[in-house]
Amino acid sequence: MSYTIFLYNKNTDSLFELSNNLMANDFNIFQISSIKEANEKALLHPPHLFILDIFSDADQTDVVEQCIEIRKKEIFNNTILIIHSPNTEDYLQIECFKAGADDYIKKPIRTKLLVSRINALLKRLKNTTQEEHLIHFSNQMVINIEHYSILKNNEFIFLPRKEFEILLLLTTKPGKVFSRDEIVQTIWKKEYKQIGRTIDVHIRKIREKLGDEVIKTVKGVGYKLEEDLLNKSVLA
Amino acid sequence: MSYTIFLYNKNTDSLFELSNNLMANDFNIFQISSIKEANEKALLHPPHLFILDIFSDADQTDVVEQCIEIRKKEIFNNTILIIHSPNTEDYLQIECFKAGADDYIKKPIRTKLLVSRINALLKRLKNTTQEEHLIHFSNQMVINIEHYSILKNNEFIFLPRKEFEILLLLTTKPGKVFSRDEIVQTIWKKEYKQIGRTIDVHIRKIREKLGDEVIKTVKGVGYKLEEDLLNKSVLA
DNA sequence: AGGCTTTTTTATGATACTATTAAGAAAACC
DNA sequence: GGTTTTCTTAATAGTATCATAAAAAAGCCT
């Protein structure tokens, strides 16, 4: 499993080298240039680690504020927060720690040592990650099983129970065609009963909300989830 | 609850000042002068944190060995290991991290900052149920777990036990839909076969006091706390 | 193309689930 | 032991969700 890291700097250009170095160490890196952007990306990929990279002295004053801002958000509850800054004043470090930082790393630092520190911190991460309840799609869509909700284009979509269950069933084996009988037996439990066009109507409702491209009809057989829509790389 | 810290140095005299400073910060300190001694003391007081204090350059070569030695022992499995040393060669730090260290702190460091770092590390300690008795909401609402009460718009609202427990359960995973069965099993413990509309009535009572927006119904599934309402408190 | 089959879509009535109220039991309180 | 508060049960009302039917569209075959 690969860890997800948010790399924050107002000026993303400055992150190029660090980003590349970390990616070379098998981390899944997202470059972020605002807290707002972080919040949005986190809905899709709650990060294990968040590096607040401070470039210029002008940034410094905001650091503590940014820590507090991040720690307020439920989604970052279990995220390790690292400050990476050229400024190492004691008082500033203490304030950052108080605001919820996990480490304060002085700039510059050699990548190898940084990776060592990151791994030492990740080792302590509680293994309850929110990712477990999320199913990612390539088209900016995420199913949240716990919440019974779907996030698409940063908007929450609510599916009623039957619709949600059908969609979930299809996602268990993306690309596999599920016959109506299979769907009935799984979702409705009861024996192989002649069910009219109920499933079709549910599929219709799902398509209405998520778009027609998500579920494909295989005539005479059943329905399937559009296979290359599922983002397996993230799931691994 | 006070954390137990092992403070290691071959020459215990050199630890006098550091030891006193940490004790003043409400840590439970044991001074240790050999790994053997650490193993013995740990049987009685498994430490939350182990500080390997390196005094002279002569000690340096042993550090990595000592880390490995400590990490071998079952009793220190869940102990956070800090190296406190004047030597900051990158290769040495990397070796220490590889050997299981959690942090490498350069000497000298001001006590205040050291305590900050220690607390940041302890925060991540597994099995540590942080006794946070305040849960903040964005809508000017604060739950006080100790008081079994809620502050909303600067007014205290009292919830009876069952109502409070249900609300508390929902706040443990904001956004997650809890089924009635889940709620019953958590709050009522026992099997409790026959549950009529008991939970509904409790939910009703909660909504009556806190407003309808706090708990959302997911028909056919259960109830959930409105997710973006939670505002995690930072200051412990 | 035409005729047949299967699916989509719309509309509507049924039903399963939840809300609400009230009232009696059970606890808790003093 | 009596009073107040909280919890549960029950009964009714209300509503979102679901299933059914039926028409429209799409797909398939010779």
- Residue-by-residue DSSP string for A73-96: SGGGTT-EEEEEES---HHHHHHH
Least confident window among A196-200, B99-103, B150-154: B150-154
The reply to whether B175 and B217 lie within a common domain is yes
Least confident window among B52-56, B154-158, B187-191: B187-191
Q: Is the Cβ pair B125, A120 closer than 8 Å?
A: no
Bridge partners (DSSP) listed for residue A5: A29, A49
Return the C-alpha torsion angle A131, A41, A126, B145, nearest 10: -100
Does residue B203 lie within 7 Å of nucleic acid chain C, judged by its CB? yes
Tell me the whole-structure pTM to 2 decimals.
0.77
The predicted structure's pLDDT at residue B57:
63
B175-191 average pLDDT score: 85
What is the spatial distance between Cα A235 and Cα B220, in angstroms, rounded to a whole number? 28
In this structure, the number of other CB atoms found within 10 A of the CB of residue B54 comes to 21
Name chain A contacts of B224, Cβ cutoff 8 Å: 147-148
Domain boundary, last residue among A91, A108, A128: A128
The predicted structure's pLDDT at residue B191:
57
Indicate the residue of A116, A126, A147 with minimum beta-carbon distance to B175.
A147
Q: Strand pairing of A149-152 and A141-144?
A: antiparallel
Q: Which stretches of chain A are assigned E, i.e. beta strand?
A: 4-8, 28-32, 49-53, 80-85, 103-106, 134-137, 141-144, 149-152, 155-158, 178-179, 215-218, 222-225
Query: With contact defined as beta carbons under 8 Å apart, do B6 and B51 qualify?
Result: yes
What is the spatial distance between Cα B172 and Cα B235, in angstroms, rounded to a whole number? 18
Q: Strand pairing of B49-53 and B4-8?
A: parallel
Interface with chain A: mutation pick from B67, B93, B115, B127, highest number of A CBs within 10 Å:
B93
B40 HSE (CA, 13 A, CB side): 7
SS3 A58: helix
The predicted structure's pLDDT at residue B236:
29
| CATH number, domain with residue A30 | 3.40.50.2300
The boundaries of the domain holding residue B107 are 4-123
Name chain B contacts of A101, Cβ cutoff 8 Å: 120
Q: How confident is the model at residue B202 (pLDDT cuts 50, 70, 90)?
A: very high
Domain boundary, last residue among B96, B123, B150: B123
The reply to whether B169 and B84 lie within a common domain is no
Angle at alpha carbon of residue B10, lines to B5 and B14, rounded to 5°: 75
User: Average pLDDT per run of 10 along chain A, which is 236 residues long?
Assistant: 89 80 90 91 90 78 88 88 92 94 92 94 77 80 91 90 93 90 85 75 94 91 81 41
What is the spatial distance between Cα B72 and Cα B100, in angstroms, rounded to a whole number? 10
Better-scored residue on pLDDT, A17 or B229: A17
Helix (H) or strand (E) segment spanning residue B80: strand B80-85
The reply to whether B158 and B83 lie within a common domain is no
B125/A contact by beta carbon, under 8 A:
yes
The reply to whether A203 and A226 lie within a common domain is yes
Residue B129 lies in a domain: no
The reply to whether B69 and B153 lie within a common domain is no
B80-97 average pLDDT score: 93
Residue B28 lies in a domain: yes
Does residue A219 lie within 7 Å of nucleic acid chain C, judged by its CB? yes
Q: Is the Cβ pair B116, A93 closer than 8 Å?
A: yes
Q: Is the Cβ pair A103, B93 closer than 8 Å?
A: no
Q: Is the Cβ pair A97, B117 closer than 8 Å?
A: yes
Query: With contact defined as beta carbons under 8 Å apart, do A215 and A207 qualify?
Result: yes
The predicted structure's pLDDT at residue A74:
81
The predicted structure's pLDDT at residue A199:
93
B152-173 average pLDDT score: 89
pLDDT of B6 > 80? The answer is yes
The predicted structure's pLDDT at residue B185:
85
| CATH number, domain with residue B158 | 1.10.10.10
SS3 B148: coil
What is the spatial distance between Cα A30 and Cα B41, in angstroms, rounded to a whole number? 45
Residue with tokens 């799984």: A186
Least confident window among A137-141, B5-9, B29-33: A137-141
Residue with tokens 């700039």: A107
Query: With contact defined as beta carbons under 8 Å apart, do B52 and B95 qualify?
Result: no
Q: How confident is the model at residue B156 (pLDDT cuts 50, 70, 90)?
A: confident
Query: With contact defined as beta carbons under 8 Å apart, do A213 and A139 qualify?
Result: yes
pLDDT of B224 > 80? The answer is yes
Overall domain count for chain B: 2
The reply to whether A122 and A170 lie within a common domain is no
Domain boundary, last residue among B123, B151, B175: B123
What is the spatial distance between Cα A159 and Cα B232, in angstroms, rounded to a whole number? 28
Buried b (16+ CB within 10 A) or exposed e, B5-20: bbbbbeebeebeebbe
